């Protein structure tokens, strides 16, 4: 098996925003033409640079994919941080989190399709398959971080919060894939509301009832080890 791993470039001196320009263009090409057809030549053309300049900043297409995923996760995290700044109990957080994520998905369905294609693409390339694990891990943490930030969740609840986050995240991904295939919003909402109720019931059974903890002034991400390959 090919054991080559993704090489990650350092930001070049005098970049003048070229890396960000290429990453933005890469996402647009992937949305328009699909990940498999997003060649470095097409990405360079969309970014308004030549192929040599693209490879000055990135080793290959896989490294560009990696950076696109990083940027998307960072953008989603910032959006969630802005939306969920106020204190909230877990019961309400489960409902509001899923409904808000759905509202964001509807704004950019092409972006969601590209994300699913990225996973399949890297899984087809043995030297890049670790990117699929990292993407899954980061998206799971998006759910876990904002569930554990609820005012009635304590540090000792961590294992159960991760279990709840994984249940909600994996269920939501399946629903998303169905929606991308059939584009039936009513069907998605029906499934989402069922998932919300199931998550709330699971939390009520599995987590002890207690008074809300004091409001925190900032949100901290907890590090969870990546699953071993």
Same domain, 50 and 104: no
- Burial of 112-122, coded b for 16+ CB within 10 Å and e otherwise, reads bbbbebbbebb
| 8 within some domain | no
Please give the pLDDT value at position 125: 87
Same domain, 40 and 153: no
Same domain, 94 and 121: yes
Same domain, 96 and 71: yes
| 6 within some domain | no
Domain of residue 36: give its range: 14-58
Cα-flanking dihedrals φ and ψ of residue 42, to 5°? -65, -40
Same domain, 87 and 104: yes
pLDDT digits (tens, 9 = 90+) for 11-39: 565 567 899 999 999 999 999 999 999 99
Same domain, 127 and 216: yes
* 119-135 average pLDDT score: 89
| 149 within some domain | yes
* Residues 81, 180, 38, 131, CA torsion sign: positive
pLDDT digits (tens, 9 = 90+) for 55-109: 999 999 999 999 999 999 999 999 999 999 999 999 999 999 999 999 999 999 9
Q: Distance from CA of residue 127 to its chain's centroid?
A: 21
Please give the pLDDT value at position 208: 83
Please give the pLDDT value at position 133: 92
pLDDT digits (tens, 9 = 90+) for 172-217: 999 999 999 999 999 999 999 999 999 999 999 999 876 666 655 4
Please give the pLDDT value at position 126: 84
């Amino acid at each position: 098996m090919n054991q080559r791993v993704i090489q990650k470039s350092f930001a070049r001196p005098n970049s003048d925003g070229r890396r960000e320009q290429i990453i933005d263009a890469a996402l647009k090409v992937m949305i328009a033409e699909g990940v498999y057809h997003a060649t470095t030549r097409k990405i360079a053309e969309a970014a308004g640079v030549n192929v040599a300049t693209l490879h000055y900043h990135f080793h290959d297409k896989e490294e560009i994919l990696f950076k696109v995923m990083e940027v998307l996760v960072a953008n989603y995290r910032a959006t969630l941080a802005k939306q969920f700044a106020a204190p909230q109990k877990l019961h309400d957080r489960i409902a509001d989190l899923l409904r808000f994520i759905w509202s964001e998905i509807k704004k950019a369905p092409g972006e969601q399709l590209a994300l699913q294609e990225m996973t399949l693409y890297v899984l087809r390339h043995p030297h890049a398959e670790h990117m699929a694990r990292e993407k899954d891990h980061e998206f799971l943490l998006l759910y876990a971080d904002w569930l554990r930030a609820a005012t009635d969740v304590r540090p000792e609840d961590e294992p159960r919060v991760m279990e709840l986050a994984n249940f909600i995240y994996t269920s939501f991904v399946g629903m998303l894939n169905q929606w991308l295939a059939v584009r039936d919003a009513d069907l998605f909402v029906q499934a989402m509301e069922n998932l919300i109720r199931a998550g709330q019931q699971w939390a009520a059974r599995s987590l002890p009832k207690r008074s809300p903890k004091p409001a925190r002034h900032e949100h901290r991400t907890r590090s969870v080890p990546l699953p071993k390959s």
